[in-house]
Chain A
Amino acid sequence: MSFLFKRNPRTPQELIKNLNESIEKIDLSNDNHRKYQDECSKYLKQIKIILHGDDEIEPQPDQITLLAQEIYQTDCLYYLTKYLSNLDFDSRKDVAILFSTLLRRKISNKSPTVDYLISKNEILILLMKNQEVQEIGLICGSILRDCIKFEIINDFILNNKYFWNYFNYVQNEIFEIATDSFTTLHDLLTIHKKLVSEFLADNYDYFTKNINKLIQSKNYVTKRQSIRLLSEIVLTRSNQFFLNKYFDDTINLKLIMMLLSDKSKNLQIEGFHIFKFFIAKPKKSQKILDILIKNKDNFIEFFEKFDLSSFNDSNSIDEKDYILNEIKKLPDIERL
């Protein structure tokens, strides 16, 4: 029956050409914008069928190759990104699927899309900038997270000035923009370990300043997510250089102590999982030691009451006992 539904008479080249033309014509202030939106939507659906097939059609590799080449040659991905918010709601998601599929396409162990995106890096910058735009932020976030699975793109983004905007995006008043940005920030700082360790070593001051700001946020979710991210960074062995510096810094210790005394049980626990490293670090700086010793009695009182039982995590309970013991071993404060 499939001949009855022949819906793709065009070649992939024609399809991309038409898409590029229509997308530039969408002018939201003009009444006829629906017409061009519908055209784009239709072309994007046809592209999806070439890439993934449907109930009747299996994807054809030679068609996919032709399609991909045309997309790179005409900078189609650039236009799709630039005019993303002009597309209708559901077509934007088709753009994300297009990116994702192209990125995974490999030719002799190389991803031509990755090479293309690095050479045409305006696309990546647009994606970063648009993360905070209400209507398209989530789409840009999901495209970008697909991109940074490739180390070379992750590298480009970490070393771009717009990366630091993420520390603002995660505080966006629109909840899903904020959390989506957080997911991207998290991925940027955890997936490619070697890259991240170099980045953190080079940018210790600026990064610490920024993450500490988030930890002091009044928004519970921002606070909790940023501590969780910090925990994860701290737990990564390769971030050695960063750790040494971080746990010698009294400002950090003070902030974490504040978390321990937070009203929220969850924040206390998250705080504990960072605090323990201040205690467990073999060579502590004198300033850190001074603060610990000064607060020895307070810590003992606090940790004797600190109840982790509701979290059903025997590891944490053991750790708490260990930390309490270590605190008890600290020298007593010298009284004058």
Chain B
Amino acid sequence: MTSRIYSADELEVCEEVGRGGFGVVYRGLIKTTNEEVAIKQIDLENDQTDLFEINKEISIISECRLPQITKYLGCFVKNYKLWVIMEFVNGGSLFEILQPGPVTDEKTISIIAKEILLALDYLHNQGKIHRDLKSQNILLGSKGEIKLTDFGVSTQLSSNFSRRNTTVGTPYWMAPEVILNDNGGHNSKADIWSLGCCLYELFNGKPPLQNQYPPMKALRYISKCTKDDDFVTIIKLNELEISSNFKDFLIECFRVDTRKRLSANKLLKHKFITKNSVDSNEQSKLIKTLITNKHLWDQENHVLKSQKFYLPTEMVQNQQKWNLDEKEEENTIKFDISTMNEYPSPKSTTRESSISPETTLTEKTPKKKTKKINYQTLQQHDSKQKNLSKTLKPELSKIVNKVFHKLDTKSSLSTEQYDLLVSLNQNFLDLLTFSNTTGNDNSTSKLIICQYLKYFMKELNKNDNDSRLLLKKLILPSEMKNTDTIKIKSKEMGPFDEIENSLFETWIDEMKHLKG
């Protein structure tokens, strides 16, 4: 792989593959070699960006060279942005891999565990702690590689091997001592706990406690663990149908006393790891199966494929193949995984996306007053707005994905149009939030996107002039034409994917017009 990248001129920036508080991650290509890279663009003018924290992160990643850690390829400043170039891992994260369902094969779990342990052993030996190990930070490659990534919060214990004392991490994967911040902070053993959570997550689909409790409550439960088997008891580890080796491995990870919790080096010698070890061929086969399953699932659920546009022919071929081979065994379908890409953004998934500590805290602290909602059925379940948008989000996501898919297959989109649509869909989902009602408590708050569409339809139906009529004609599907306003209104929560489908077309025209 190329040794170092010095400037933006050496790169071609492709589609967005991820997004976070720091900025945006793109897939990119090195012009001279056509190698894929991940480009993390950090906005340095952003108020939340701490230049010194970033410097620290970069010095840590630049000092790591291990197959199990994403390789650092350089970084540079362009205008007000810092570009960090990393190796691109094309199979997506463990979190995404789990979307179709849990991984029940213990051999696969053991292989993943081993690779992460190798990475942790390397880091810990150098006095580094990852501090935010979770399924989103473990990437899979189509050659069977497992790589640890995202050192956003990792710490270098440069001066000595003492402890850190800041709380960072993500609730469900956090060790009790990290939450409590006791013993003057935490050490490398915190990563071992998180590893245990990841493995549990692999087998169960969710990290411990996530199915039972919201983040803050889970935090409380974890922090209450004082005896060594407390956590093992509350997560009912004994009821899991797993081998005794796997169970014992998890018990070692979940020891509350950090001195008794085994180090990465020792866990590498644990039976669960040694008994399941396989050669690299076998490993890549098992990992590939996971990636394949995920791609099939994406296809069935019409999940947006951001890379699709850049490799149109191969993708079309694959699509046809999938349609034909639908009933065949998954493993018999051979397709080029290297043409696949990561999920566009975890936001659009139906699963709860990654919860960073900050968002969790703001979500949970009752900053905003809960307002009454006028949806009677849902009100009975829970009056919290969050739950409503949570219920609606998967459905809306399904709709916009379907609309997008339809549009995409029926018309040949330009890159620009494609990108605009992706962001339009994202905006739709992001706007499934409540407006801040300014009036008194009796007023009901509205879901912005729904309200928006409602107003849009109303406006459209005002037969003001000829162009308005024409617009209406272009937008409304034939079966809805000539219907009066009231009927459309009553339908607005109904099958509006048809309407939206047409809406997109006009909006794209509008956007193009604005751009041109």
Contact = CB atoms under 8 A, between A and B. Distances in A.
Interface of A: 52, 54-55, 89-90, 93, 96-97, 100-101, 104, 138, 142, 145-146, 149, 173-176, 179-180, 182-183, 219-221, 224-225, 264-266, 310-311
A55 B59 CA distance: 28
Given A97-B127, A183-B55, A219 B77 contact: yes
Contact of B44 (A89, A93, A145, A221): A221
B80 A220 contact: yes
B80 A173 contact: no
Given A138-B59, A175-B58, A180-B59, A264 B45 contact: yes
A225 B51 contact: yes
Contact of B58 (A149, A176, A219, A311): A176
Nearest to B49: A266
Interface string B111-151: 00000000000000011000000000000000000000000
B338 interface: no
A142 B59 CA distance: 10
10 contacts: A90-B65, A96-B158, A100-B158, A104-B159, A149-B159, A176-B58, A176-B62, A220-B44, A221-B77, A264-B45
B51 A138 contact: no
B65 A176 contact: no
Nearest to B66: A90
A179 B58 contact: yes
Given A93-B126, A146-B159, A310-B47, A220 B59 contact: no
Given A55-B263, A224-B51, A176 B75 contact: yes
Interface of B: 4, 6, 44-45, 47, 51, 55, 58-59, 62-63, 65, 74-77, 79-80, 82, 126-127, 158-161, 263, 265-266
B80 A264 contact: yes
Contacts of B6: 173-174
A54 to B, nearest CB: 8
B173 to A, nearest CB: 24
A89 B51 contact: no
Of B6, B80, B266, chain A has the most CB atoms within 10 Å of the CB of: B80
A171 to B, nearest CB: 11
Of A54, A264, A266, chain B has the most CB atoms within 10 Å of the CB of: A266
Contacts, number: 69
A51 to B, nearest CB: 10
Given A55-B266, A149-B159, A221-B44, 9 more contacts: A97-B126, A104-B160, A175-B75, A179-B55, A179-B59, A182-B55, A221-B51, A221-B77, A311-B47
Nearest to B266: A55
Contacts of B63: 93, 138
Given A55-B265, A179-B58, A221 B82 contact: yes
Contacts of B126: 90, 93, 97
A256 to B, nearest CB: 19
Contacts of A175: 58, 74-77, 82
B160 A220 contact: no
B391 to A, nearest CB: 34
Nearest to A263: B80
A138 B61 CA distance: 12
A242 B502 CA distance: 69
Nearest to A89: B65
Given A55-B265, A180-B59, A146 B47 contact: no
Contacts of B55: 176, 179-180, 182-183
Contacts of A52: 161
Contacts of A176: 55, 58-59, 62, 75
B68 to A, nearest CB: 14
B75 A100 contact: no
Contacts of B265: 54-55
Nearest to B61: A176
Contacts of B74: 174-175
Contacts of A145: 158
Given A183-B55, A264-B45, A220 B79 contact: yes
A145 B156 CA distance: 14
Nearest to A94: B126
A266 B45 contact: yes
Contacts of A93: 63, 126
